[in-house]
Amino acid sequence: MKTLKDILYGVGLSAVSGSTSIMVNHICFDSRKVGQDDVFVAIKGLVADGHQFIDKAIASGAKSIVCEELPKKFDNDITYVQVDNGNKALAIMASNYYGNPSKNLRLVGVTGTNGKTTVSSLLYQLFKKAGFKVGLISTIKIMVDNKEYATTHTTPDALTINKHLQLMNDEGVEYCFMEVSSHGIHQKRTEGLVFEGAIFTNLSHDHLDYHKTFAEYRDTKKRLFDQLSKKAFALTNIDDKNGLVMLQNTSARKYTYALKSYANYRAQILENQFNGQLLKMDDHEVWSKLIGDFNAYNMLAIYATADLLGLEKLEILRLLSELENVDGRFQYYISKEKITAIVDYAHTPDALKNVLDTINTLRTGNENVITVVGCGGDRDKSKRPVMGHIATALSNKVIFTSDNPRSESPTVIIEEMEAGVEAQNANKTLSIVNRKQAIKTACQLAATHDIILVAGKGHETYQETNGVREDFDDFKIVKELLADLNK
Ligand SMILES: CC(=O)N[C@H]1[C@@H](OP(=O)(O)OP(=O)(O)OC[C@H]2O[C@@H](n3ccc(=O)[nH]c3=O)[C@H](O)[C@@H]2O)O[C@H](CO)[C@@H](O)[C@@H]1O[C@H](C)C(=O)N[C@@H](C)C(=O)N[C@H](CCC(=O)O)C(=O)O
Ligand SMILES: Nc1ncnc2c1ncn2[C@@H]1O[C@H](COP(=O)(O)OP(=O)(O)OP(=O)(O)O)[C@@H](O)[C@H]1O
Ligand SMILES: N[C@H](CCC[C@H](N)C(=O)O)C(=O)O
Ligand SMILES: [Mg+2]
């Protein structure tokens, strides 16, 4: 237990009513989860306003309230604290409550539209192989060294982040790599964290439902760099046209990486094959099991980060060649009929284009590329026709299907994807709402040497429809269907 005063350290307070010397059991931002002697933080969300649940929080045992707007009537037994921004206050309070754990390890944040999970997970792998205790906060899972925890968000809420960082402190973790999503920055989930470095991978079309304009989306990502101290490093992909923007206002030491431009860290692709690629980095040749230009960028970002964190260059290069692909990222299976199935988490136009470009450069003959793809419901609608266009322009056959329709109609989502298909490609498409049936049809259509790409869900093990998640695993399903295929 800590006092409210200690928890509020560093939070700018506009007004206080009542004692801040009271003991607080826990911090809570959801009235449905409040317990005895908790402090309730009222947050203005997209759907609800936490201020409306203050009475409910008090009824459930909260003894203090942190809010942006004070209620009209005070309860004399309760301490009320007014702050400018509930999300920001929550993040600073969470850090204080858990003993400012980000200060006790070397935390590196990874932001960008694509590549966050890949870069942070491979950094985790590399530092583990180098013999360190390491933490990871990613879309797929949270790792406290060898212990795995399930997660619901790419960048969880501030309490979840700090709780796991504290577990990392307890475990003696030295390095932690975390994904920093634009939602996370915008909702200030990472406010108050002390980063030793930040990495920018790239910026392309996504989440314009939430951020409204591309400029706003870009500026949100940039805030991670603006927040760095001058002891930290800021590492950016300078081949990306927004790479330099990230460095504009940072106090941190600035570093760049690139395949095409002049940069502090450079790489060249010497050879690209299905099972790996040969890269040249710092005048040394290094084998990467991960293929495609986009993974050359990821490998370079990892190399640069490990160097900036003080690992020996030759040691880093040796470890880079040992890194294994992340689940659901270009994960492939080759059937006995020599049909290749690739499962990839490409759920943005840029990622889909990159994966299909990579597949197309690796084609050796007349094999067909059959793509199974959908778009998520309750997410950026404007990427649907673009992904429809990319899928059909770069594949021989496309089966549009469902990818977590959530509260939307799957048929309408598919129609919005089809709207982006050019007339000359219309005969390439099929629409099958049931994702398993769509994958099965792709398997039946495939001939020897053909390549099936199942895009969008990667590592996910569910299909979400109207709030219900049913078990669904693209890789398991495609593998089973191909294994059962008797051609
Ligand atoms: C769009 C979005 O990001 N929403 C997040 C946001 O929810 P919200 O603003 O809708 O919250 P709300 O329902 O309006 O509630 C406002 C406040 O009232 C409180 N409340 C509400 C009801 C009640 O009875 N009592 C109560 O106290 C809530 O706890 C909350 O504090 O705040 C919640 C609490 O932190 C998040 O769980 C929620 O994530 C939702 C589930 C989500 O799907 N987020 C996705 C889009 C997301 O964040 N994605 C990014 C990754 C994207 C990428 O990788 O490309 C991520 O980092 O995961
Ligand atoms: N550096 C990169 N540039 C462009 N595309 C990439 C890059 N790295 C991976 N991809 C593609 O994007 C997909 C998602 O990769 P990854 O999961 O690493 O991204 P992410 O940024 O974590 O995504 P999310 O926003 O969902 O957390 C991959 O399956 C691959 O198709
Ligand atoms: N982090 C991304 C993941 C999208 C994955 C895709 N399968 C979907 O459900 O839209 C999001 O929440 O927008
Ligand atoms: Mg991710």
Predicted ipTM of the assembly: 0.97
Atom index in ligand 2 nearest the CA of residue 113 equals: 21
Question: Rounded to the nearest whole angstrom, what is the distance from the C-alpha of residue 30 to the centroid of ligand 3?
Answer: 24
Domains present along the chain, CATH in parentheses: 2-87 (3.40.1390.10), 98-320 (3.40.1190.10), 331-485 (3.90.190.20)
Mutate to test the pocket of ligand 3, among 118, 154, 182, 379 (most ligand atoms within 8 A of CB): 379
pLDDT in tens, the chain (487 residues): 899 999 999 999 999 999 999 999 999 999 999 999 999 999 999 999 999 999 999 999 999 999 999 999 999 999 999 999 999 999 999 999 999 999 999 999 999 999 999 999 999 999 999 999 999 999 999 999 999 999 999 999 999 999 999 999 999 999 999 999 999 999 999 999 999 999 999 998 878 888 889 899 999 999 999 999 999 999 999 999 999 999 999 999 999 999 999 999 999 999 988 889 999 998 999 999 999 999 999 999 999 999 999 999 999 999 999 999 999 999 999 999 999 999 999 999 999 999 999 999 988 888 999 999 999 999 999 999 999 999 999 999 999 999 999 999 999 999 999 999 999 999 999 999 999 999 999 999 999 999 999 999 999 999 999 999 999 999 999 999 999 886 5
Q: Which residues make Cβ contacts (< 8 Å) with residue 363, sequence separation at least 6? A: 369, 451
pLDDT tens-digit series, residues 273-317: 888 999 999 899 999 999 999 999 999 999 999 999 999 999 999
Please name every residue paired with 106 in a beta bridge, in sequence order, or none if there are none. Answer: 175
- List Cβ neighbours of 193 (8 Å cut-off, separation of 6 or more): 91, 95, 102, 107, 109, 161, 165
- In angstroms, rounded to a whole number, what is the distance separating the alpha carbons of residues 179 and 344? 19
User: In the Cβ-directed half-sphere of 212, how many Cα atoms lie within 13 Å?
Assistant: 3
| pLDDT tens for each residue of 389-441 | 999 999 999 999 999 999 999 999 999 999 999 999 999 999 999 999 999 99
Separation of 73 CA from ligand 4 center, angstroms? 44
DSSP strand pairing (397-400 vs 369-373): parallel
Gap from CA of 294 to ligand 2 centroid (Å)? 9
Pocket test for ligand 1, best of 55, 187, 212 (most atoms within 8 A of CB): 187
Measure 213 CA to ligand 4 centroid, in angstroms. Answer: 21
d(CA 364, CA 367): 8
- Residue whose Cα lies nearest atom 10 of ligand 3: it is 376
Q: Binding site for ATP, residues?
A: 112-118
